[in-house]
Chains A and B, each alone.
Chain A
Amino acid sequence: MKAAFRDAGLSALVALGIFGAMVGLRIDTGHNILIARPWAVAILVAATFVFRFALVLWKARIPKALTRPAKLTPARRNTARYVGIALLVVAATLPLFGGRYAIDTGIVVLTYVMLGWGLNIVVGLAGLLDLGYVAFYAVGAYSYALLAQTFGLGFWTCLPLAGLLAAFWGILLGFPVLRLRGDYLAIVTLAFGEIIRVVLLNWTTLTGGPNGISGIPRPTLFGLTFTAGGGEGSFADFFNIEPSVTQRLVYLYYVIFGLALLTNWVSTRLRRLPLGRAWEALREDEIACRALGINVTVTKLTAFAIGAAFGGFAGAFFATRQAFISPESFTFIESAIVLAIVVLGGLGSQLGVALAAIVMIGGGELFRDFNEYRMLIFGVALVVVMVTRPRGLVSGRTPSVSLGKTQIISGDMVSQGHG
């Protein structure tokens, strides 16, 4: 009790230090005067005190609540399945009952779900920490944009090409990092992401530099364009809001929905096949893999390539949705968000990644009215989730094959990989 009091007091003091200047003083730009806001500070400090006090007491009362591994019962497994089916139904029918805003948000969320699933192959299954995933997203986007602009190719022709090119760059990144692990791997992949962005920014003759590429053609449905009001000048006025914009939006929604489902299907299927099993084995113990005759080099490169290919698909979609891309869209923060989705969702868990994407991207939309506090709420929410569920939202691992009844393996038994 006394310790809790002291701890809370200390936290309150820290809060006073932080908020005293940041919240307590405000510059009124209109009159050029400094306004003191002691009450706001008092409330924040008091809240910190109470929160910390309660937290310490709660932790003392149930000492093992935070460290006890989650029990995995069949009931929980069924819950996971029902949640998955419910999400699928909602996602499939969203355009029927959602407005334009909902559909637009849905498209963004699904893009991140797809990116999350793609990165999950590299980080979640193969256990290779990749901080530069946005590079493949960028390669996909620029591949489509440039192919479409230079050769006049359509979206559906370019989509596989964008995936292939991204996979190629995935392999190219894979080679130098084969021997690296952990922090070193993370740093090199991060640098790779930045290199791609800087090249896009400076290779002005090819990419248009900071001006980006505009007028990227929209996807067509068997040759039908989604530009309303006559075919001519279909991308001259793409910023205008047209009557049929909703149709195009719905179409885009189903395109990304299909792409995301494809990603999910391929990665869940691969997990049950030798290649996916080798990735997971690699995450568990690389040396043992080698001793079993598995070519570690090839296995790592396939993980990078296939993960990158889905990043490339998502990038091509991003380009066609925006109709305009510039290096600004492919900064490190994008990699960080996608990685956060994978980690928050639970490494290797498809459902977890989808949930995390909804929470992180959709939730971000919900809090849009809070303006500057949005990132604060976001950060706090992340910390809370990671403290209470250190292995992510869905942490168990489902075995890829079984003789009898499938049992979910508790998350703390599964290795997270060494990079």
Chain B
Amino acid sequence: MMATPLLSVNALTMRFGGLTAVDALSFEAQEGQITAVIGPNGAGKTTVFNCITGFYRATSGEISLQHAGGAFQLATMQGHNITRQAKVARTFQNIRLFAGMTVLENLLVAQHNFVMPDVAHGLLAVFGLGGYRGLEKTALDRAVHWLKQVKLLERADEPAGSLPYGAQRRLEIARAMCTGPALLCLDEPAAGLNPRESDELSDLLISIRAGGCAILLIEHDMGVVMRISDHVVVLDHGKKISDGTAEHIRNDPHVIAAYLGEGDEGLDEVAA
């Protein structure tokens, strides 16, 4: 268990003017595990995500990622290279699909760097050169594979914006997986899902983990977190207040106090 961690966040601090959203946060995520980041609203969870995925530039601290593809310092990488080279994919709290494009197109856009390694290849493809056909076929196969995984194959040719909410959540996960990530960051994937859909989501995440992709998960739905997480990190006011297995977190008085203090609805489930 004590192998080199896949992701290690070290003394990460993020300030917005006078506000310290994340304060000297350190935690690790292991390969092949589901790591959940929980905490009351405003605890800084999404900020941590945005730092890891390059949408924010951290004020200080290190975020390093290590897997078979190499070692990367995410805090200093360009946004798109974090997905492209370091193999970190993410979804968004408020779904960001390409609404006017079909489900299938959404999954093909995700494989952009695979089918078009550089601009020259992109332009050569106009004349049918550069081996584009073969790449496109592989990309389509991968898209179909993930459509099956998220049970959206029948709706492949419909615009993504016309899908029901739960299906859009699943599609966004499938789209992130099409980038071929080593670490998948999910920002509240169960938000707005009914209990049955939440269960399906849990199964999907477990199967993704079985496929070898580690997951970093922000979630308010404690049912999902407690059921599938190998490791839970609890944040409050930008600081880590607890870190351990689901069982450990459930009995940690700091966690209970944080949720009690905030009066969060997650209290019952955490304390249970």
Say if the beta carbon of B209 comes within 8 Å of chain A.
no
Query: In the assembly, what is the distance between CA of A275 and CA of B175, in Å?
Result: 18
Query: In the assembly, what is the distance between CA of A355 and CA of B29, in Å?
Result: 57
Q: Which of A77-85, A86-94, A283-291 contacts B (4 or more CB under 8 A)?
A: A283-291
For B99, the chain A residues whose CB sits under 8 A away are: 284-285, 413-415
Residues 136 to 195 of chain A near chain B (Cβ within 8 Å):
none
For B142, the chain A residues whose CB sits under 8 A away are: none
Overall SS of chain B's interface: helix
Query: In the assembly, what is the distance between CA of A257 and CA of B23, in Å?
Result: 64
Given A295-B80, A302-B122 in contact, is the A401-B108 Cβ separation under 8 Å?
yes
Chain A residue nearest in CB terms to B135? A274
Instruction: Judge whether A281 and B101 touch: CB under 8 Å.
Output: yes
Instruction: Judge whether B179 and A293 touch: CB under 8 Å.
Output: yes
Query: In the assembly, what is the distance between CA of A391 and CA of B11, in Å?
Result: 51
Chain B residue nearest in CB terms to A266? B126
The proximity string for B residues 103-116 relative to A, scoring 1 for CB distances below 8 Å and 0 otherwise, is 01100111011011
For A400, the chain B residues whose CB sits under 8 A away are: 105
A244 to chain B, nearest CB (A): 37
Of B90, B112, B176, B179, which is within 8 A of A278 by CB?
B112
Given A269-B126, A413-B161 in contact, is the A277-B156 Cβ separation under 8 Å?
no
For A284, the chain B residues whose CB sits under 8 A away are: 98-101
A294 to chain B, nearest CB (A): 5
Say if the beta carbon of A22 comes within 8 Å of chain B.
no
Query: In the assembly, what is the distance between CA of A413 and CA of B108, in Å?
Result: 19
Say if the beta carbon of B57 comes within 8 Å of chain A.
no
Given A274-B125, A402-B102, A413-B99 in contact, is the A294-B157 Cβ separation under 8 Å?
no
Say if the beta carbon of B9 comes within 8 Å of chain A.
no
For the side of the interface on A, what is the size category? 35 or more
Chain B residue nearest in CB terms to A405? B157
Query: In the assembly, what is the distance between CA of A302 and CA of B156, in Å?
Result: 29
- Most chain B CB neighbours (cut-off 10 Å) among A274, A284, A400: A274
The proximity string for B residues 74-95 relative to A, scoring 1 for CB distances below 8 Å and 0 otherwise, is 0000011111100001101000
Say if the beta carbon of A224 comes within 8 Å of chain B.
no
Say if the beta carbon of A55 comes within 8 Å of chain B.
no
Of B109, B126, B140, which is within 8 A of A292 by CB?
B109
Chain B residue nearest in CB terms to A291? B90
Query: In the assembly, what is the distance between CA of A298 and CA of B159, in Å?
Result: 26
Instruction: Judge whether B125 and A402 touch: CB under 8 Å.
Output: no
| Chain B interface residue count, Cβ-Cβ cutoff 8 angstroms | 46
Instruction: Judge whether B119 and A302 touch: CB under 8 Å.
Output: yes
Say if the beta carbon of B132 comes within 8 Å of chain A.
yes
Query: In the assembly, what is the distance between CA of A409 and CA of B106, in Å?
Result: 14
Query: In the assembly, what is the distance between CA of A197 and CA of B55, in Å?
Result: 39
Instruction: Judge whether B92 and A288 touch: CB under 8 Å.
Output: yes
Instruction: Judge whether A402 and B81 touch: CB under 8 Å.
Output: no
Residues 261 to 307 of chain A near chain B (Cβ within 8 Å):
266, 269-270, 273-275, 277-278, 280-281, 284-285, 287-296, 298, 302
Given A293-B113, A302-B119, A401-B105 in contact, is the A285-B81 Cβ separation under 8 Å?
no
Given A275-B125, A296-B80, A407-B158 in contact, is the A281-B116 Cβ separation under 8 Å?
no
B136 to chain A, nearest CB (A): 8
Query: In the assembly, what is the distance between CA of A269 and CA of B132, in Å?
Result: 13
Residues 225 to 284 of chain A near chain B (Cβ within 8 Å):
266, 269-270, 273-275, 277-278, 280-281, 284
Query: In the assembly, what is the distance between CA of A280 and CA of B101, in Å?
Result: 8
Say if the beta carbon of B254 comes within 8 Å of chain A.
no
Query: In the assembly, what is the distance between CA of A281 and CA of B113, in Å?
Result: 14
A173 to chain B, nearest CB (A): 18
Instruction: Judge whether A285 and B98 touch: CB under 8 Å.
Output: yes
B42 to chain A, nearest CB (A): 21
Residues 140 to 161 of chain B near chain A (Cβ within 8 Å):
140, 144, 153, 156-159, 161
Query: In the assembly, what is the distance between CA of A372 and CA of B82, in Å?
Result: 59
Say if the beta carbon of A322 comes within 8 Å of chain B.
no
Query: In the assembly, what is the distance between CA of A290 and CA of B140, in Å?
Result: 21
Given contacts A278-B112, A407-B158, 9 further A-B contacts (CB under 8 A): A270-B126, A274-B115, A275-B116, A278-B116, A285-B99, A291-B89, A296-B80, A397-B100, A403-B153
Interface residues of B (CB under 8 A from A): 53-55, 79-84, 89-90, 92, 96-102, 104-105, 108-110, 112-113, 115-116, 119, 122-123, 125-126, 132, 140, 144, 153, 156-159, 161-162, 175-176, 179
Interface residues of A (CB under 8 A from B): 266, 269-270, 273-275, 277-278, 280-281, 284-285, 287-296, 298, 302, 397, 399-407, 409-410, 413-415
Sample of 10 A–B contacts (CB below 8 Å): A274-B115, A278-B116, A289-B109, A292-B175, A292-B179, A298-B119, A302-B122, A399-B101, A399-B105, A406-B157
